[in-house]
Amino acid sequence: MPERKRSATVPFRRRAQVRKSSRPAIDLGALNGHLGYFVRRLQVWVFQDFIRALSSLDISPAQFSVLVVISANVGLSQSELAEKLDIERARLVRLLHNLGRRGLTQRLQSSADRRTHALRLTAKGQKILTRAKALAAQHEARLIERLGASRHQVMMNSLRDF
Amino acid sequence: MPERKRSATVPFRRRAQVRKSSRPAIDLGALNGHLGYFVRRLQVWVFQDFIRALSSLDISPAQFSVLVVISANVGLSQSELAEKLDIERARLVRLLHNLGRRGLTQRLQSSADRRTHALRLTAKGQKILTRAKALAAQHEARLIERLGASRHQVMMNSLRDF
DNA sequence: CGATATTTGTTGTCCTAGTCAACAATATGT
DNA sequence: ACATATTGTTGACTAGGACAACAAATATCG
């Protein structure tokens, strides 16, 4: 996609014709020493690919993580979920509001503590999540392909208990 | 229905000591199979630590990357910089506007192409960048410590040419 | 050359994520 | 019983990023 206008056959380049080739390669400089920069780039790629992968279901990465954790821990409270996913409680409220509006999640009154809501997926939510997991798996396959299986494994092990 | 793996060998835990233990460990579920989730967490940690590290200079990660690349490629244009850092041209305009307002960067008229601006740091910008690099190095040291030197190295190699 | 297309920097607009303070209802500790 | 803490919620605000449109400048190609 990046347009290559580098004609290798030009014998003598007149000054007026020397175009962008005067800056052949841009140096990242000190960024080369910062892992965070590359992590950021990877993360952006992952999000873009993930969003595209689940675009047919209109499920964002954050929404996916919420659905997955609710599904794996039925009845947990918003505070617990927020803490586990490192989301602000205030932000989780809006996430759940949207998911609830779409009929994917439910907030049930907890008998023990009337402040808390016991979270669970609706039948529709479970169905959607099943499809979402399949699409997410395809995304992960692309990531593994892009990264190389061994590197993917290494990074997984390195980051799992970060 | 949630598969609660209660170890059958646990004798009796007194209720008084068990507080919110009705939910002893929250399961990440399918997220455990997604590298992107852990990459995201690392990236958030990195940004938080980086911002804190450079808070005395009030330099964000994005601003740092802009200053670094300009410094390493004096005279490059906004388009080139935007492409290299994967920033929208429109966004870069605002970044440079702020950095310019603070007297850190300059946009000089390019003689060859009067559309483009040749970017460079001011003397003040270079001075600030020098200090920023030192603080960023401290941040990187913390990241290495947190991650382990070997893992840091492995990830660096894995992501450098992503 | 000259008409047309493309590039560059810019502005305006919109959307979403994320942060923060405050608040009512409820629960807890002493 | 009373002070304190937690839970879910709302409102307000900031910032990042996406997108369209635009004028000026340049490139392309008949």
pLDDT at A77 (0 to 100): 95
Structure tokens at B78: 């906004």
SS3 content of chain B, % helix, strand, coil (to 5): 60, 5, 35
pLDDT at B22 (0 to 100): 55
- Touching check for A30 and chain B: CB below 8 Å? yes
Range of the domain at A73: 58-162
A12 in helix, strand or coil?
coil
Q: Is the pLDDT of residue A125 over 60?
A: yes
Please check whether residue A151 lies inside any domain of the structure. Answer: yes
Question: From the CA of B106, how many Å to the C1' of C26?
Answer: 58
Q: Is the CB of A3 under 7 A from strand C?
A: yes
Q: Do the Cβ atoms of B61 and A36 come closer than 8 Å?
A: yes
As a whole number of angstroms, the distance between CA A122 and CA A106 comes to: 6
Please check whether residue A159 lies inside any domain of the structure. Answer: yes
Q: Between B90 and A7, where is the model more confident? A: B90
Q: Give the pTM.
A: 0.86
CATH of the domain at B119: 1.10.10.10
pLDDT band at A23 (very low <50, low <70, confident <90, very high): low
Please check whether residue B23 lies inside any domain of the structure. Answer: no
Counted domains in chain B? 1
- The tens digit of pLDDT for each residue in A87-103 reads 999 999 999 999 999 99
The whole-chain average pLDDT of chain A stands at 87
Please name the amino acid found at residue A85.
L
Please check whether residue A16 lies inside any domain of the structure. Answer: no
Write out residues in chain B with pLDDT < 50, as ranges. 1-21
pLDDT at A22 (0 to 100): 54
With an 8 Å Cβ cutoff, are A35 and B2 in contact? no
Backbone φ/ψ region at A10: left (φ over 0), alpha (ψ -120 to 50), beta: beta
SS3 content of chain A, % helix, strand, coil (to 5): 60, 5, 35
- Touching check for B67 and chain A: CB below 8 Å? no
- Run of H or E residues at B121: strand B117-121
pLDDT at B16 (0 to 100): 31
Backbone φ/ψ region at B27: left (φ over 0), alpha (ψ -120 to 50), beta: beta
Please check whether residue B33 lies inside any domain of the structure. Answer: no
B82 in helix, strand or coil?
helix
* Mean pLDDT within A28-40: 97
With an 8 Å Cβ cutoff, are A147 and B162 in contact? yes
Interface test with A, best of B1, B20, B43 (most A CBs within 10 A): B43
Please check whether residue B24 lies inside any domain of the structure. Answer: no
Please check whether residue B55 lies inside any domain of the structure. Answer: no
As a whole number of angstroms, the distance between CA A53 and CA A140 comes to: 10
Beta-strand (E) ranges in A8-149?
A: 105-109, 117-121
pLDDT at B23 (0 to 100): 58
Burial track A77-101 (b if 16+ CB lie within 10 A, e otherwise): bbebbbebbebeeeebeebbeebee
Q: State the CB neighbour count (10 A cutoff) for residue A103.
A: 12
Please check whether residue B41 lies inside any domain of the structure. Answer: no
The whole-chain average pLDDT of chain B stands at 87
